[in-house]
Amino acid sequence: MSQDNNLILVGVISGAHGIKGDVLIRSFTKPFSNIFSLNITDIEGNKLKIKKITEKKQGTIISRIESCINRNQAESLKGTSLYCHKENMPKLDDDEYYYNDLKNIPIFNEEGQKIAIVLGIVNFGAGDIVDIKFDNNKEEMLPFTKQFFPKIEKDYIVLANSYLSMIK
């Protein structure tokens, strides 16, 4: 994964589709089709011109990459992460944030004591999950919901005490 904090992960090529070099892209943008309005690069900074063909299922889009002309090339791109520079991303409201910005911020309990840090946020299809590391070095993955995290700010997160006893 990128060490450049100015790069935002917006999707991944999940496989090939057909014989003409089309690819399946799993978009992390909301709505999913927003990925096509962004300037996309790979981790090395190579620009990728992608064009939407059709949406296959929620979040997966059949796409064409300009430089990809056959299935073998498409298959070689499987697993390629797609990024956009932060300055090219849409402006956010005050109560919104990119998940990348929450990485490594502290997590406090409801009394204000630091108890953990955010390692990252992932989504395996059933919702966003926060990967956290407690101060005792124990790692947990918790649903990124208001029930677990009643307060989310750009520089810290609060974990509800009612769930803290379950996971320690």
Residue 168: per-residue pLDDT: 60
Residue 2: per-residue pLDDT: 42
Task: Say if CB 35 and CB 87 are below 8 A apart.
Answer: no
In the chain, the amino acid numbered 75 is: E
- CATH 2.30.30 in the chain, residues? 105-165
- CATH 2.40.30.60 in the chain, residues? 7-88
Task: Say if CB 72 and CB 123 are below 8 A apart.
Answer: no
Residue range 105-165 forms a domain whose CATH class is mainly beta
- Looking only at the bridges linking them, the beta strands covering 114-123 and 157-158 are unpaired
Could you identify the residue written with the tokens 């004591």?
113
Q: Which CATH topology does 7-88 take?
A: Elongation Factor Tu (Ef-tu); domain 3 (2.40.30)
User: Structure pTM?
Assistant: 0.71
pLDDT tens digits, the chain, 168 residues: what are they?
445 668 888 999 999 999 999 999 998 888 888 888 899 999 998 999 998 878 777 778 999 999 899 999 999 999 999 999 988 888 888 777 788 889 999 999 999 999 999 999 887 777 889 999 999 999 999 999 999 999 998 899 999 998 887 776
